[in-house]
Structures are given as C-alpha cells and as structure tokens.
Amino acid sequence: MKQFQTESKRLLELMINSIYTRKEVFLRELISNASDALDKLAFRALTDSSVGLDRSDLYIKLDIDKDARTLTISDNGIGMTAKELEKNLGVIAKSGSLEFKEGLEQNENSDAIDVIGQFGVGFYSAFMVAERVEVLSKAFGSDKANLWISSGTDGYDIESAEKAEYGTTITLYIKPDADEETYSEYMETYRLRELIKKYSDYIRYPIKMDITHTHAEENGESHEHTETETVNSMLPIWRRPKADVTDEDREQFYQDKYYDTAKPLSTLTVNAEGLVSFTALLFIPRKAPYNYYTRDFQPGLELYSDGVLIMDKCSDLLPECFRFARGVVDTRDLTLNISRETLQHDRQLRVIARNLEKRVKDELKRLMTEAPDDYAEFWNAFGLQLKYGIISDFGSKKELLSDLLMFRSAKLKKLISLQEYADAMTEEQQYIYYAFGDETHANPRTETVLDSGYDVICLGEDTDEFVVQTLTKFGEKELRSVNNDDLGLPDSAEKKDELEKLGTEYKDVLEFAQSALGDAVAEVRVSLNLKSAPSYLTTRGYVTLELERYFKSLPNSEGEQMKAERVLELNAEHPAFAELKEAYISDKPKAEKIAKLMLYRALLIAGVEITDPGAFAELLDSLMI
Ligand code: ADP
C-alpha cells in the first residue's frame, strides 16, 4: 500500500473526522470534478479534430445501490492514467487545496471547519461520507483502465482494471449511520436530487439519475417504471441569451428562489466584460424579510464560478448598506478552490463589488426619479438600512447614500430627498433646516423658519440625529437644527434692532432669571420668534438636545458628559413675560418661581427629562395655594 503525502494525510484526517454539519457538499465537489473532466475532453475535441466527439454525448451519472451501500458518480470525461491517479489523488498538488490547508494552519479552530462548506476542497471531501472510495478510470485515448482504492489515512492502492468506456467512475462506500448522522440519506434519490438542485443545477452537462415512477392503474393496482432523467437544468437563467428570458421569468425565478410571495421591486441584469468578466442577476425586494433587522438575517449573494456554486452567502460582493439586495454573481475569473481569506482580498472580487455597488445605487436613483411610488415602498422597507449605512464606518458611505435619503418636508407635507430640498433653496438661504418630530408638532422655531419661506425636514427616528451629525452637509449646504441658537435667518434690520433694544431694556430681569436658574442654562434672553409660546429651549454648538439624550441613554456613563449648551428664550410679547418683569420689581421670590416655570415648560416641550421632579412638583404646589 502506498502512503499519502503528509499534507494530504492531514486534510484527509480532517475530512474523515469532520464535525462539519454540511457534509453534503462532497457531492458538489465530485460533480464539479467530473464536470471539469468533461470540459477537458470537450476542449481537446475542439483543438484536435481526430477526437471526433459530440459535446452532447458528455454526461455525469449518479447510481445508487442500497444493498451494497454505494453511491457512484460516473463521467465520460478525460479520465486518468495510473500515473495521473497517483499524482492527482495521492498528493495535494492543486493550489486550491493547498491554500485551504494553509488557511487551516493559520486558524486551527472550528472556523476552519466552516471553510469546508464555503470553498471547494476537492476530492477528499468524499471521505466525509464514505469509509472507502474507489476510483475506476480510463484516460481518453488509452486502452488501459486502473482502479484506485483507499479506505482513508492508511494509504491507497492502484491496480489495473477493466473499463469499457473512457472516463471516471467513483464509488463511495457510504459510512454506516451513526447517532447523529444518517449517511443513508446519500443513497436516496430525492435527497441527491435536492443536492444537485441546490449546488450543481447549472453544471453545463446533464447530471443523470435513474428515477422510478409509480403509476396508479384504474383497477387500483400500481406499477413502477424507471427512466434515466436529467436532474439539473444545465443553463442558469442568468446565462441564457437575454432574448430568451422574459422579465416574468426572472421575477418567477426570484420568487421561487427566495420564497417571496411578492414580485421584486427591481430586477438588475449585469453582463460585464473587461478587467473581470461576470454576469449578475440582482433583485431589490419590496419588503424586508421578517428577520431583516436582526442578527439572524444572513446577507450575501450567491457566487458561482462558471456555473458551479462556490458560496451561497458571499457578503463581500456588496457593501453592507445594500445588504437587502439578493441574487447571483457568476464569473469565470475566480477559481473554485479559493479560501475565505483570499476571497476577501481578491482583486477580482473587489472589482465586481464596486461594479455592483454602482449598479444598485443607479437603480435606486432611477426608481427615485422615475418611479417615486416604488421608491417610497423601498424606503419604507429599507430606509433604515440606508440610514445605518450613513452612520456606520465613520460615514465612509455617506457620499454614496446621502442622495438616496428621504425626509418629510414640513412645508410640502410629503417625503422629499435632500436634493429636492436643495433645489428649492434660494440663494440667500444658508442652511438646510431640520427639526425633530412630525410636521404637525407645534414648534415655534420650525414655524419661524417656515415663515421665512424656507422648508424644514422632519426627523423622527433615533438614528436621525446621527444621520444629520454624520452628514453635516449636503452639497455645499450645512444641515442645521431649528433649535440651534443661530438660525442664520435674514432677520430684518428692524427686528435685530428691536431685539437688541429689548435685550438692553430687560438686561436686569434676564440676568436675574439666569442666576435663579443656576447652571441649568447657559443664557437667558428675549426672543421675537416664539409665536404663542412663553418660553423655548434652544442650544448652542455641536451637541443638540437629541444627541445629549442619546448619549445619556447609552449604558456607559461617559455619555453624561455630553451636555447640550442650553439657551432659554423668553417671549418678550407674552403676558407671562410681563408677569416676570412685574414680579422682578415687586416680588423677587415669585419672579424666581416664574423663571423656573418658564424653564420647566421649555424642557417639557423639548422632551427633555426633568431631573428634579420633586422640585417641579413643589413649585406647582406652591402656585396652587
Ligand atoms: P481540484 O479539483 O481542486 O484540482 P481535487 O482534489 O478535487 O482537486 O482533484 C484533484 C485532481 O484529480 C483534479 O485536478 C483532476 O485532475 C483529478 N480528478 C478528480 N476527479 C476527476 C475526474 N472525475 N476525472 C478526471 N480527473 C479527475
């Protein structure tokens, strides 16, 4: 008996003792090898006319023998000589397997096991389900056949044998069922069919199986007959000529594949030639899957290497912010045997990812302008995802995403994009204004901005504060909260004069109020922007009340440090202000109470938690008697 080369032996041991749950991938590997062998022969026929071969004669066949507990996988491909059997199956010579093994060495834990399912690991995966493997092969053009036999790590034997046709027949002696593993399933027609559909449907050669059908006769009896059928569909929808596939076909494919009752919102077909050639078929769903915003949702596209599935959730093909897109990518420019680490850094893959990112972005932009109702539906389902996209990775995707955002306009009472907002801006408008709460929520400062003729976008979600903080600008225009102390409105000169005058006139009472409120506010001042409200809270600088609230809600107390600098504005035209002035002269303790009430009132409207409810209650009590 011959010994396996040390490296091969290690890989083999790993396969035999694999605790990996998806042992089923062995079938994909063997079918893919068979398909390669058919390719090689087809190629030889192309370049050598003496081969005289019809491509349509090439096939792969699966046979089950339950009594012998075997599964055989045969092909009439190029076959192997004794030397080739020795070289190909006795040694890990192939770069893919080697890469895989190197990956293992760097990462000697269960993660490595997972790699098996994701990447081609080749022939040895047969040992995950078989206790003994026989490879009977006859090389094309040779008159001798050979049998390679191995029961695992002990080694292997090669002997001469008989085989009528050229090609290779691999016989797997399926392991006995164990406690947690029912290997017998790999001798069930339905199961093998399922696996072929799952992993090898698009192999370009027919994968045949003998399928038994039962027919019920009218007299109640039934009879069986067996037919050899092709199980795979051979040509995937994305590789069929464009003219042969209708939009309905693609939509149906989407619905069947992703179990969606609704048609997709958009279907994208990409046929790229150039640096990297690939075909992609992508879909944008209408609704978010129920677990979309949870950890359970696994994003990623299916990655095919020339019709062979090599990864079913390849998340490196699209940026995280577009994880809602589903579909497949097929390229000849990636090898089947590729490890996860190499995949991530694969240049080709990055080229594909960049291309797809652009396609998805363009499609969303198209929907936005050409099909606003569809875009609204998309926004409803995945708007939050785009917002997350803006704030994650330190805003690295904000260029990509900012013009896809939608906000409610206080003026137009509908969703608008930032671009629409910007288009409607006048020359002298300095900022893009935003406010928290819906547009009906009475906010005197929103009203002030609206009165100046400018629109205000309304934010409602927790993430929104971060979205605006991360964006800071759209185009050249800065985003600014209506609660910002400085709104940059083109106040008339008279108004400014008047404010200044009032400020000087009421200097004493304002200073009094400020000292009564202590460090709760940085400044107390008069305002002419407050409509019917007696008082209102604004902030100065970067930290807004919303941001402060968010940081406070974080479990680490550092958030406590993030405090908005508060400015209490008092409405100089409100009777309550007259009361304050009056009391300041005649009854200072009362004036203090009014000042405090004005602050509490402003805090309540701003939605800021009152930190001293006891004091507030006492204050109210004192006013009731
Ligand atoms: P890989 O497919 O990555 O090269 P494998 O371990 O799966 O690695 O197979 C090793 C080699 O054995 C293949 O490269 C091929 O040359 C040969 N081989 C495997 N299966 C077949 C087959 N059915 N017919 C012909 N050659 C085969």
Q: How far apart are CA 27 and CA 67, in angstroms?
A: 20
* pLDDT of 624 higher than 80: yes
Least reliable range by pLDDT among 171-175, 186-190, 544-548? 544-548
12 ligand 1 Cβ < 6 A:
no
Q: How far apart are CA 158 and CA 286, in angstroms?
A: 57
* pLDDT of 492 higher than 80: no
Q: What is the pLDDT of residues 56-65, one digit of tens each?
A: 899 999 999 9
337 ligand 1 Cβ < 6 A:
yes
Q: In the prediction, which pLDDT does 34 show?
A: 95
- The helix-helix angle for 493-505 and 507-517 (nearest 10°) equals 70
Q: Which of 8, 25, 33, 40 to mutate to test the pocket of ligand 1 (most atoms within 8 A of CB)?
A: 33
Query: Which atom of ligand 1 is found nearest the CA of 78?
Result: 25
Q: In the prediction, which pLDDT does 119 show?
A: 47
298, two tokens: 């696994």
pLDDT average, residue stretch 413-438: 91
Residue 171 alpha carbon to ligand 1 centre in Å: 15
Contact (Cβ atoms closer than 8 angstroms) between residue 170 and residue 126? yes
Rounded to the nearest 5°, which phi and psi values hold at 113?
A: -60, -40
pTM, two decimals, is 0.66
Sheet of 301-305, strands arranged across: 266-272, 278-284, 326-331, 301-305, 308-314
Q: In the prediction, which pLDDT does 80 show?
A: 96
123 ligand 1 Cβ < 6 A:
yes
97 ligand 1 Cβ < 6 A:
yes
Of the candidates 453, 452, 457, 447, the residue with the CA atom closest to the CA atom of residue 481:
457
Name the residue at shortest CA distance from atom 7 of ligand 1.
122
Q: In the prediction, which pLDDT does 295 show?
A: 86
Q: How far apart are CA 31 and CA 72, in angstroms?
A: 11
- What is the band of 104 on the pLDDT scale with cuts at 50, 70, 90? low
Q: What is the pLDDT of residues 291-311, one digit of tens each?
A: 898 888 889 999 888 777 777
Residue 540 alpha carbon to ligand 1 centre in Å: 70
Residue 346 alpha carbon to ligand 1 centre in Å: 24
- What is the band of 467 on the pLDDT scale with cuts at 50, 70, 90? very high
Contact (Cβ atoms closer than 8 angstroms) between residue 231 and residue 208? yes
Q: How far apart are CA 53 and CA 71, in angstroms?
A: 28
96 ligand 1 Cβ < 6 A:
yes
Q: Of 10-19, 110-119, 262-271, 464-473, which one has max mean pLDDT?
A: 262-271
169 ligand 1 Cβ < 6 A:
no
Cα dihedral sign, 329-335-337-343:
negative
Residue 113 alpha carbon to ligand 1 centre in Å: 21
- What is the band of 379 on the pLDDT scale with cuts at 50, 70, 90? very high
Name the residue at shortest CA distance from atom 16 of ligand 1.
88
Q: What is the pLDDT of residues 355-370, one digit of tens each?
A: 999 999 999 999 999 9
Q: In the prediction, which pLDDT does 593 show?
A: 94
Name the residue at shortest CA distance from atom 10 of ligand 1.
88
Least reliable range by pLDDT among 138-152, 323-337, 386-400? 323-337
| N-terminal to C-terminal alpha carbon distance within the chain | 105
Q: Give the start-end residues of each E strand in 58-174.
A: 60-65, 70-75, 130-138, 145-150, 156-161, 167-174
DSSP 377-406: HHHHHHHHHHHHHHHGGGGTTHHHHGGG-E
pLDDT average, residue stretch 26-30: 91
Instruction: Find the radius of gyration of the CA atoms of the chain.
Output: 36
Residue 27 alpha carbon to ligand 1 centre in Å: 13
Residue 66 alpha carbon to ligand 1 centre in Å: 26
Rounded to the nearest 5°, which phi and psi values hold at 213?
A: -110, 140
* pLDDT of 618 higher than 80: yes
Name the residue at shortest CA distance from atom 5 of ligand 1.
122
Q: Of 10-24, 81-95, 260-274, 527-541, which one has max mean pLDDT?
A: 260-274
Q: In the prediction, which pLDDT does 424 show?
A: 94
Q: How far apart are CA 237 and CA 542, in angstroms?
A: 53
Q: How far apart are CA 113 and CA 90, in angstroms?
A: 22
pLDDT average, residue stretch 473-492: 86
499, two tokens: 């404010």
Q: In the prediction, which pLDDT does 204 show?
A: 85
- Domains delineated in the chain: 8-230 (3.30.565.10), 237-375 (3.30.230.80), 405-481 (3.40.50.11260), 492-624 (1.20.120.790)
Query: Reduced to 3 states, what is the DSSP secondary structure of residue 49?
Result: helix
> What residue type is assigned to position 187 of the chain?
M
Name the residue at shortest CA distance from atom 22 of ligand 1.
34
Q: Which residue carries 């004493």 as its tokens? A: 508
